[in-house]
């Protein structure tokens, strides 16, 4: 079989047998199509047995030099995603007893250490308090900011949130995150109060929790028609960060980082934070070691080298 046909088989395998999300399948399709286009144009690679270490090495050079939007190159982490997708595809071929390059011969580069931006407790308070007012837009924005910080939701999870999902009486609800994983998130008292004020003032029947403001908000609307987009939420967060006088580049994900940092600073263990964030791998949560490291430093100062009574 030609590589093109095998790619399609592999994507179907990811969707059906591995039960990967549609987004994951789309990403693999993008990464593997890029490899196929390169290999066919440069090396006339059409069959699995044509994939060699030399082809892969040249492909990695190509990825490293590839220019994308505004003449930027691909991030190292993005290049590694391409290589991981190719490795996993080769493993799939091997399991099917199709002759090709061994996936174990391809090494994945080390990702650079991620630097995260988070807000201090004082900055979070300023941000939340910057959304004032009793009009519907102000109530929505305050509820949105409160919920992001209270739950650590990803912006995509916030966008997809429906009113029927919320259980404000129990102050918790389930959310479907990356990889279709379902987790429970918890709503603080302040977030609950902000949401109740906002939702009680809504007169429309749109299912979305967070909707855009229109003149027709109090009339019947088609489902999805009023739902805020990811970009809209990014603009709202930036608007109030500027209003609060925060000089950091604040995004919705900054509040997710702040949520995790706040938990760790107040004594939560990293495994619990992993569960609350919905990380499948603890190594992803370990980007917050800046917090635990500071805690260890305090312990070291407090207990090391002290004379016993």
Which pair of structure tokens corresponds to residue 237?
A: 């967060």
* Active-site residue flag, 256: yes
* Active-site residue flag, 288: yes
- 82, 140, 227, 279: which one is catalytic? 279
- 82, 192, 256, 257: which one is catalytic? 256
- 288, 300, 306, 307: which one is catalytic? 288
What 3 state SS string does the chain have?
CCHHHHHHHHHHHHHHCCCCCHHHHHHHHHHHHHHHHHHHHHHCCCCHHHCCHHHHHHHHHHHHHCECHHHCECCHHHHHHHHHHHHHHHHHHHHCCCCCCCHHHCCCCCCCCCCCCCCCHHHHHHHHHCCCCCCHHHHHHHHHHHHHHHHCCCHHHHHCCEHHHCCCCCCEEEEECHHHCEEEEECCHHHHHHHHHHHHHCCCCCCECCECCCCCCCCCCCCCCCECCHHHHHHHHHHHHHHCCCCCCCCHHHHHHHHHHHHHHCCCCHHHHHHHHCCCCHHHHHHHHHHHHHHHHHHHHHHCCCCCC
- 60, 140, 142, 154: which one is catalytic? 154
* Active-site residue flag, 253: yes
Compute the distance between CA of residue 209 and CA of residue 240 in angstroms, rounded to an integer. 19
* Active-site residue flag, 82: no
- 163, 178, 183, 197: which one is catalytic? 178
Compute the distance between CA of residue 275 and CA of residue 125 in angstroms, rounded to an integer. 25
What residues act catalytically? 154, 178, 253, 256, 279, 288
């Amino acid at each position: 079989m030609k590589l093109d046909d095998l790619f399609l088989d592999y994507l179907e395998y990811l969707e059906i047998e591995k039960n990967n999300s549609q987004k994951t399948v789309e990403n693999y399709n993008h990464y593997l199509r890029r490899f196929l286009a390169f290999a066919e144009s440069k090396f006339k690679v059409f069959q699995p047995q044509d994939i060699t270490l030399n082809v892969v090495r040249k492909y990695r050079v190509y990825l490293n030099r590839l220019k994308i939007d505004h003449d930027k190159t691909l991030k190292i982490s993005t290049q590694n995603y391409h290589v991981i997708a190719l490795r996993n595809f080769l493993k799939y071929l091997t399991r099917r007893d199709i002759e090709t390059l061994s996936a174990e011969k391809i090494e994945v580069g080390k990702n650079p250490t991620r630097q995260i931006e988070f807000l201090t407790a004082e900055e979070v308070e300023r941000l939340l308090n910057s959304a004032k007012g009793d009009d519907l837009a102000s109530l929505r924005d305050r509820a949105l900011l409160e919920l992001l910080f209270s739950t650590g939701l990803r912006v995509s999870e916030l966008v997809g949130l429906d009113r029927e999902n919320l259980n404000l009486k129990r102050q918790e609800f389930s959310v479907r995150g990356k990889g279709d994983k379902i987790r429970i998130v918890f709503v603080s008292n302040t977030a609950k109060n902000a949401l109740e004020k906002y939702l009680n003032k809504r007169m429309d029947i749109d299912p979305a929790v967070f909707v855009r403001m229109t003149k027709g908000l109090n009339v019947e609307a088609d489902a999805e028609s009023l739902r805020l987009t990811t970009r809209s939420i990014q603009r709202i967060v930036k608007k109030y960060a500027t209003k609060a006088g925060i000089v950091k580049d604040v995004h919705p994900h900054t509040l997710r980082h702040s949520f995790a940092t706040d938990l760790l600073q107040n004594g939560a263990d990293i495994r619990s934070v992993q569960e609350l964030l919905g990380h499948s791998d603890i190594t992803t949560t370990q980007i917050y070691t800046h917090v635990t490291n500071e805690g260890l430093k305090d312990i070291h100062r407090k207990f090391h080298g002290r004379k016993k009574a």
